[in-house]
Amino acid sequence: MHVRLALVALAFGSLAAAGCFRNLKKDPAFLNDPTGKGNVVAPTPPLPTGKALSPAPSAGGVKPPKLELAPGTLPPLPGLPGSPSNPPPASVPDGPSGWQVSADVGDDEAQRKGILERLRERREEKKKEREEQEKKERPVLPPAVDPKNGEPDKKLILEPVDKKPAPIQPLQPTAPAGDLKTVRGLVDEAGKRFAGIPDFESKLTKRETVGGKKQPTEEMRFLFRQEPFSVRLTVTGENGRGREVVFVKGQNNGKLIIVTGEGDNRLLGAGKKLELDPDNPLATSRTRGKIEDSGIGRPIRVLTKFVEEAEAGKRSADNIRSLGKVERKEFASPVDGVEVTLKASDDPLLPKGGKRQYYFDADPKSPSYRLPVLVITTEPDGAEAEYYCFTDFKVPAKLTDADFVVKDRRSR
């Protein structure tokens, strides 16, 4: 069996060798073998150019035959869309899904102008659409001609202005506000009431901030006389008990008569009598005002000045406000309140301005009726700067010169 298979294989091998040899004999390259030894010269592969190839001469100087590609062997390569080998379709749809122009079209002037023309037409169409939309949204104006009689509508005819413009009026001072009139009435009544009082006696509660330092509250007996101008203060409270300050205009060589109180001066002790100028630092170190400004006359004068400035337009009327009837714990019945917004120039002790409230006695049965019985001044931040409260009035007090004479009470 094995011997038989081997013979069959040998036979097929011989036939294959004979066929290969026969093909080599018929190959043109084998026939042109310069060596004659059957060496096959492989032809140069054809290039896809459609032109005849001329291979270089062989080593023996014999040129191989020219080989040419048969027509239609390789299909022509298509060009870019729009090129002669790949022309555009006859019609181009609009919109983003339409035919896209390639770089080849940029060289064709006619096609480029066609594209620009279509873009221009599209822009004009959009413009017309917008104009139509604006016409629809634009309000319809009434016709200038009355449709009833065909005559021009008189409502739409503007008559010429023959009148001359009104002359320019100069600016007038700010008209007093309602609050300002109320305050004017209060200060006028207070001025008349105070002018008719020859003298009075009351209790004064004073609280001040001097040089940025808040002073303790002081309670004192206050005596006042109009003619000659006379003031006497006698401290009755715990702070500075026994201190006395007396000033009579035109007497004592214009000096203040001061009797030291408890805790005023360790070296002098209490009860020591001193005579000082009203502007002496020892006399002004613990108070914000001068002795001539003591009492209720100065609040009336200052508030009257503010009202007059507002009436003349030199001060805003809004800076003076009526508070109406106000209940204060210092008094048994409501009092009339007034609030003034102070400017920096109103008080040298308030360089940043502030607010001051005036309260007038509104009880007709009270001896201090219509008089300013409470004055409170605050800094811009609301901190209290002044507090003067007058209570327990005795009007008139029937004061004499003897009531304004003090003696040295210190034991000798």
Could you give all domains of the chain from N- to C-terminal order, each with its CATH number?
Answer: 178-404 (2.50.20.10)
Predicted pLDDT at 373: 98
**Distance, C-alpha 202 to centroid of its chain:** 53
Predicted pLDDT at 353: 95
pTM of the model: 0.58
Measured distance CA(393)–CA(400) in Å, rounded: 17
Predicted pLDDT at 24: 43
Measured distance CA(323)–CA(76) in Å, rounded: 107
Predicted pLDDT at 349: 92
Kindly give the parts of the chain with pLDDT less than 70: 1-111, 113, 139-177, 408-412
Predicted pLDDT at 382: 94
Measured distance CA(12)–CA(106) in Å, rounded: 67
- E-strand stretches of 249-398: 256-259, 273-276, 320-326, 335-342, 354-361, 372-378, 384-394
The DSSP code for 101 is P
Strand partners, 339: 321, 357
Predicted pLDDT at 281: 85
Measured distance CA(362)–CA(328) in Å, rounded: 12
Predicted pLDDT at 178: 73
